[in-house]
């Protein structure tokens, strides 16, 4: 019998260990719905910052030209679009061979806005240096500003040494940090307009007499007709930006955005490569993640503004006003997966004011719902005025009067008895 129990225990342990290694994480079941090619990916809802898919999102990697998102942020916040920038010798000659440029010439003059288009569409590294020198006087000083701004935005694993993403061992970021930069930048309407533009031309100058420098956006998600056969396999109709990148060390990178109705997502893909099929893993991952977000997530209103949530009795209120309705101060709208059972949600109500007088529309408590581990709350307002009842006040007055009379009797009675004794 003991031998049989031992054998059963050994078999049970073996089965448990096998299952553990075959199914290492039940928490990540949601991730099994998505298959991505690239080593680091992230899908974030833009307005809330909620991350709904991530793979190695906090691993430090080379960002390549997605760096230029931060460059554009600083230029837009510290510069003037109509200012004139003169292209320096350093801006032209410091760019290594093989890196993209806008063919800027030493001494050429452009507006800040024109250089921003050159920066973000063809990913011009010379434009990045020209803008950095315009804002900070030097590339080193501008890089310091970039790092300060990154921390301000909330990045924890980012360090910049240049404004364009030219490879450097000390120039790195993460998918999560780049998503924060993209989210922040897309709140700027000028930035949003630039990164959604498919084509742009630089004007003729004294150094370049023709306006033949026409550039297409490097983001193939934006255009439906970029290929030689008139069709772009990577076109995504809801795409709104943002920035691609590539170096031999970083591989193919992108920070992309897409908006459909009231829902906007940001996708970051780092370290992407060309697949055996010849297709770009970077763009396929973007389309997969965007489709997953739009098909499975939405904004859901679980409580509408001014709706009556509950009714309570205010004990010291008048009979006519003591029954007080509680109404929601604001809509409670949550971003969550479509298969959440919202009908079964149970709110938590906390009342903070239960004593009259209470004024209509004053805050009397809060109501909270917990959805997918997040808590959403709004104030509860009084639906009407609650007046103080005078009944209890009058009863109290009568009780006090009776008590005072009784006390007076007790005090006066002994004096009368003493007087009688003295007379005797």
Asked if residue 198 has pLDDT above 70, the reply is: yes
Report which DSSP code applies to 248. T
Helix (H) or strand (E) segment spanning residue 74 = helix 68-78
Mean pLDDT score, 150-178? 98
Q: How far apart are CA 35 and CA 119, in angstroms?
A: 32
304-382 carries CATH number 2.60.410.10: yes
Indicate the SS3 state at residue 190: helix
* pLDDT in the model for residue 11: 44
Point out the least confidently predicted range of 13-17, 81-85, 283-287: 13-17
Backbone angles phi, psi at 5, to 5 degrees: -65, -40
How many angstroms separate the Cα of 368 from the Cα of each of 70, 312, 328, 331, 375? 37, 17, 11, 12, 7
Q: What percent of the chain has pLDDT over 90?
A: 80
Backbone angles phi, psi at 154, to 5 degrees: 120, 5
Q: How far apart are CA 151 and CA 164, in angstroms?
A: 19
Q: How far apart are CA 424 and CA 422, in angstroms?
A: 5
Point out the least confidently predicted range of 92-101, 225-234, 244-253: 225-234
Asked if residue 18 has pLDDT above 70, the reply is: no
* First and final C-alpha spacing in the chain: 108
Asked if residue 415 has pLDDT above 70, the reply is: no
Q: How far apart are CA 236 and CA 161, in angstroms?
A: 33
Asked if residue 416 has pLDDT above 60, the reply is: no
- The fold of the 29-296 domain, in CATH, is Beta-lactamase (3.40.710)
* pLDDT in the model for residue 16: 37
Dihedral sign (CA 70, 76, 82, 88) = negative
In which residue are the tokens 């770009």 written?
280
Instruction: Quote the mean pLDDT of the chain.
Output: 89
Q: Are 110 and 133 in contact (CB under 8 A)?
A: no
Going by pLDDT thresholds of 50, 70 and 90, the confidence category of residue 23 is very low
What token pair was written down for 1? 């019998």
Q: Are 255 and 177 in contact (CB under 8 A)?
A: no
Residues of the chain within CATH 2.60.410.10 domain(s) are 304-382
Residues of the chain within CATH 3.40.710.10 domain(s) are 29-296
Nearest to 377 by CA among 330, 308, 311: 330
pLDDT (tens digit, 9 = 90+) per residue, 319-331? 999 999 999 999 9
Provide the greatest CA pair distance for the chain.
136
Report which DSSP code applies to 384. S
Mean pLDDT score, 142-167? 98
* pLDDT in the model for residue 229: 52
Q: How far apart are CA 276 and CA 368, in angstroms?
A: 51
pLDDT (tens digit, 9 = 90+) per residue, 340-356? 999 999 999 999 999 99
What token pair was written down for 103? 């063919």
pLDDT (tens digit, 9 = 90+) per residue, 352-394? 999 999 999 999 999 999 999 999 999 999 999 999 987 656 6
pLDDT (tens digit, 9 = 90+) per residue, 205-222? 989 999 999 999 999 999
Going by pLDDT thresholds of 50, 70 and 90, the confidence category of residue 230 is low
Mean pLDDT score, 74-83? 98
Q: How far apart are CA 81 and CA 214, in angstroms?
A: 20
Indicate the SS3 state at residue 369: strand
For the annotated catalytic residues, the residue numbers are 65, 68, 123
* pLDDT in the model for residue 19: 34
Q: How far apart are CA 74 and CA 146, in angstroms?
A: 7
Q: How far apart are CA 151 and CA 54, in angstroms?
A: 21
Cβ neighbours of residue 385 under 8 Å, at least 6 residues apart?
Answer: 321, 357, 358, 359, 360
Going by pLDDT thresholds of 50, 70 and 90, the confidence category of residue 263 is very high
């Amino acid at each position: 019998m003991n031998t049989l129990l031992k054998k059963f225990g050994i078999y049970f342990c073996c089965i448990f260990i096998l299952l553990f290694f075959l199914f290492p994480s039940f928490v990540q079941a949601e991730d099994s719905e998505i298959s991505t090619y690239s080593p680091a990916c992230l899908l974030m809802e833009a307005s809330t910052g909620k991350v709904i898919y991530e793979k190695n999102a906090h691993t430090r990697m080379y960002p390549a030209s997605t760096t230029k998102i931060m460059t554009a942020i600083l230029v837009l916040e510290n510069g003037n679009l109509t200012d004139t920038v003169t292209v320096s010798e350093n801006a032209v000659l410091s760019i290594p061979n093989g890196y993209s440029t806008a063919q800027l010439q030493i001494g050429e003059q452009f507006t800040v806005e024109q250089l921003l288009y050159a920066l973000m569409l063809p990913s011009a590294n010379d434009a990045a240096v020209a803008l950095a020198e315009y804002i900070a006087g030097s590339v080193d000083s501008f890089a310091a500003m970039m790092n300060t701004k990154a921390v301000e935005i909330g990045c924890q694993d980012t360090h910049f040494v240049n404004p364009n993403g030219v490879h450097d061992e000390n120039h790195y970021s993460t998918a999560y940090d780049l998503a924060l930069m993209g989210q922040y930048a897309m709140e700027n309407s000028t930035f949003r307009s630039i990164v959604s533009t498919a084509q742009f031309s630089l004007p003729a100058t004294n150094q370049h007499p023709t306006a033949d420098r026409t550039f297409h956006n490097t983001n193939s998600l934006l255009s439906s007709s970029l290929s030689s056969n008139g069709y772009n396999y990577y076109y995504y109709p809801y795409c709104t930006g943002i920035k691609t990148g590539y170096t031999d060390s970083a591989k193919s990178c992108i920070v992309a955005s897409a908006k459909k109705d009231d829902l906007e997502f940001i996708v970051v893909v780092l370290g992407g490569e060309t697949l055996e099929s010849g297709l770009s893993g970077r763009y396929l991952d973007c389309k997969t993640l965007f489709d997953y977000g739009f098909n499975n997530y939405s904004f859901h209103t679980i409580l509408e503004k001014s709706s009556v949530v509950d009714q309570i009795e205010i004990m010291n209120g008048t009979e006519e006003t003591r029954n007080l309705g509680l109404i929601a101060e604001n809509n409670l709208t949550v971003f969550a997966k479509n298969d959440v059972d919202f009908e079964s949600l149970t709110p938590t109500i906390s009342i903070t004011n239960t004593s009259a007088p209470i004024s209509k529309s004053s805050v009397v408590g809060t109501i909270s719902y917990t959805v997918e581990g997040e808590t959403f709350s709004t104030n509860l307002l009084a639906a009407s005025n609650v007046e103080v009842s005078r009944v209890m006040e009058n009863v109290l007055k009568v009780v006090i009067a009776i008590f005072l009379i009784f006390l007076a009797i007790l005090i006066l009675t002994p004096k009368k008895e003493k007087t009688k004794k003295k007379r005797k």
